[in-house]
Amino acid sequence: MMDDRRFYDERQEVKQVPLVCPHCRQENTYPVRWLVRTKKAAPPPGADNEARARFARARSYMVRVEDLVACRNPRCRKRFELTGQSVILL
């Protein structure tokens, strides 16, 4: 059985996301780290028919690495959890 991670190139990316702190209700932009997995151009060498079929179905996607951010308001500074999508298909 071939590992699916061999189908992708991985890199980390930081995106600025506008969020509202649920404690102080102040909006600000926060850096959120994502792991971007880009599908390779060809299946890895030594792949059998089952691995080639899984490679054909594979798609590029992003996974959110961080689940918590700290409020940037100096009077608040509380940590809050990110909600919404944690995986995005590209």
Specify the pLDDT at position 1.
60
pLDDT, tens digit, 9 for 90 and up, residues 50-64: 888 889 999 999 999
Averaged confidence pLDDT in the chain: 90
Angstrom distances, CA of residue 52 to CA of 2, 38, 58: 10, 17, 10
Assign 84 a pLDDT band (cuts: 50, 70, 90). confident
